[in-house]
Amino acid sequence: MLLKLLFRNAFRHRLRTLLTIGGIAVAILAFGLLRTVISAWYSGVESSSASRLVTRNAISLIFPLPISYKEKIRSVDGVGVVSYGNWFGGVYIDEKNFFANFAVEPRTYFDLYSEYLLTDDETAAFFRERKACVAGQKLARRFGWNVGDIISLRGTIFPGNWDFVLRGIYQGKDKTIDENQFFFHWDYLNETIKKISARRADQVGFYMIGLKRPDQAAATAEAVDGLFKNSYAETLTETEKAFQMSFVSMSEAIITVIQLVSYVIIVIIMAVVANTMAMSVRERMGEYAVFKTLGFGRGYLSGLILGESLTLTSIGGLLGIGVTFPAAGAFGQAVGQFFPVFHVSAKTILMDMAAAAIVGIVAAVIPIWRVVQVRIAEGLGRIG
């Protein structure tokens, strides 16, 4: 009976109720999308492996390390597979078509990154051919690439026009894996550079280390760095997670702004729902007074109002959550290049629901206080 009362009361003023629910749905949608944007920013961190280390020049990422370091790193206790590569930074036709492209040592790199899935044929072809390249599924779909296509990149760090043959399209093991990356042979890069400007050859941008025992990450990292301390190219070795985090923290300020803004939308909709509830309750003050005369206590009345408020926010919230999925899909397409991984997580949905509940509760506070406070005679006098 109570539920029926709640529902009927909420829909008494149909237009107003529909508008409020619409507003809540939009707000929850916006909140969910913003949260998804934030988690997309951290997606690199989330998908990091605990058993991989990244070694790079201690000064900054733009300085290279000698290829000779490889053997020394391999000799460190606890180090398994060692791979290496360079950020190539090539442009595909136009700067707008940005995607991450790397020159890597193919065998060891794909050994370490077992979450990039290729067929055996693709793997063999990639390893075999010097000018072969591999692209992620989302990337290939974006530009309509097929295996066998010739792909040309314009070098920015390594000048010139570079041609590659697409020999494989990799899929991520699960949805959190970035499928927007592009890899080719480090040897191809190195040989070409040797001919143009020899002093830049035989240098890598980073080393990837596979740990034999993941719990030894800190000790192993220290050992590696210890090898090269006080040399010309000192290294900084850290877990892949920490490495990814360093990128995220560079945009710290913006992420904080987006987080703040996502809370602002909740406050806005709180104001709107509070307004609606205040209006509804004021109109029905006489009724609540009558309830009081009949003997219904404060708890009951508070429950009524709270229930009505939560009914509104729940319906709106569910609507908003429902629309979030297709909206995220569309949004993900549009910002695919900034955020390679864009999907709505369970945590986001939970936050959506929490937000809806909080809004519902807060919006009911003042009306409940007013109703609890009003004296019966005064309330009755408000009829008409």
Partner 1 sequence: MNLLFFYSLRNLLTRRLTTALTALGMALVVFVFAAIIMLAEGLQKTLVDTGSYSNVVVIRKSSGSEVQSGIDRLQASVVETQQEISMGQDGKQMIAKEMVVLITMEKQESSSRSNVVIRGVSETSLSLRPQVHILAGRLPQPGSSEIMVGKSIAKGFKGAGLGEALVFAMRSWRVVGIFDAGSTGYSSEIWGDVNQLMPAFRRPVYSSILFNLRNAGEFEAVQSRIQNDPRLTLEAKRETVYYKEQSEAMATFLRILGLSLTLVFSIGAVVGAMITMYAAVATRTGEIGTLRALGFRQSAILTAFLLESLLLGAIGGCTGLFFASFLQLLTVSTTNFQTFSELAFSFALTAGIVIKSLSFSLIMGFAGGVLPAFRASRMNIIAALREA
Could you give the C-alpha distances from 336 to 40, 179, 279, 328, 332, in angstroms and in order? 10, 10, 44, 11, 5
Q: What is the DSSP letter of 237?
A: E
Q: How far is the CB of 269 from partner 1 (least distance, A)?
A: 5
Could you say which of 6, 10, 30, 328 contacts partner 1 (CB under 8 A)? Answer: 30
Which of 250, 350 has the CB closer to partner 1? 250
* Interaction between residue 279 and partner 1 (CB under 8 A): yes
Could you say which of 154, 287, 303, 318 contacts partner 1 (CB under 8 A)? Answer: 154
* Interaction between residue 152 and partner 1 (CB under 8 A): no
> Which is nearest to 113 in space by CA: 138, 89, 136, 88?
136
Q: Is the CB of residue 328 less than 8 Å from the CB of residue 343? A: yes
Which of 195, 232 has the CB closer to partner 1? 232
Which of 37, 224 has the CB closer to partner 1? 37
* Interaction between residue 275 and partner 1 (CB under 8 A): yes
* Interaction between residue 156 and partner 1 (CB under 8 A): yes
* Interaction between residue 55 and partner 1 (CB under 8 A): no
Question: Pairing mode, if any, of strands 101-104 and 182-185?
Answer: parallel
Using CB under 8 A, which of the segments 43-51, 136-144, 269-277, 348-356 binds partner 1? 269-277
* Interaction between residue 50 and partner 1 (CB under 8 A): no
* Interaction between residue 264 and partner 1 (CB under 8 A): yes
* Interaction between residue 118 and partner 1 (CB under 8 A): no
Could you say which of 271, 350, 354, 376 contacts partner 1 (CB under 8 A)? Answer: 271
* Interaction between residue 230 and partner 1 (CB under 8 A): yes
In angstroms, the CA 198 to CA 189 distance is 12
Q: Is the CB of residue 352 less than 8 Å from the CB of residue 314? A: no
- Torsion (CA) 324, 329, 334, 337 in degrees, nearest 10: 120
Q: Is the CB of residue 151 less than 8 Å from the CB of residue 131? A: no
Which of 22, 381 has the CB closer to partner 1? 22
Axis-axis angle for helices 14-41, 346-373 (nearest 10): 140
* Interaction between residue 196 and partner 1 (CB under 8 A): no
Contacts of partner 1 in 77-96 (CB under 8 A): 89, 91, 95
Number of residues forming the site for partner 1 (CB under 8 A): 54
| Cβ neighbours around 244 below 10 Å, total | 19
In angstroms, the CA 207 to CA 235 distance is 10
Q: Which tokens belong to 156?
A: 């920015």
Q: Is the CB of residue 65 less than 8 Å from the CB of residue 204? A: yes
Q: How far is the CB of 201 from partner 1 (least distance, A)?
A: 14
* Interaction between residue 268 and partner 1 (CB under 8 A): yes
Nearest 5°: CA angle at 314, between 309 and 320?
Answer: 130
| Cβ neighbours around 246 below 10 Å, total | 14
* Interaction between residue 114 and partner 1 (CB under 8 A): no
Q: How far is the CB of 199 from partner 1 (least distance, A)?
A: 7
In angstroms, the CA 20 to CA 14 distance is 10
Contacts of partner 1 in 93-112 (CB under 8 A): 95
Taking the mean position of all CA atoms in its chain, how far away is CA 262? 15
Q: Which residues bind partner 1 (CB under 8 A)?
A: 15-16, 19-20, 22-23, 26-27, 29-30, 34, 58-63, 89, 91, 95, 154-157, 159, 199, 230, 232, 234, 236, 246, 249-254, 257-258, 261, 264-265, 267-269, 271-272, 274-276, 278-279, 338, 366
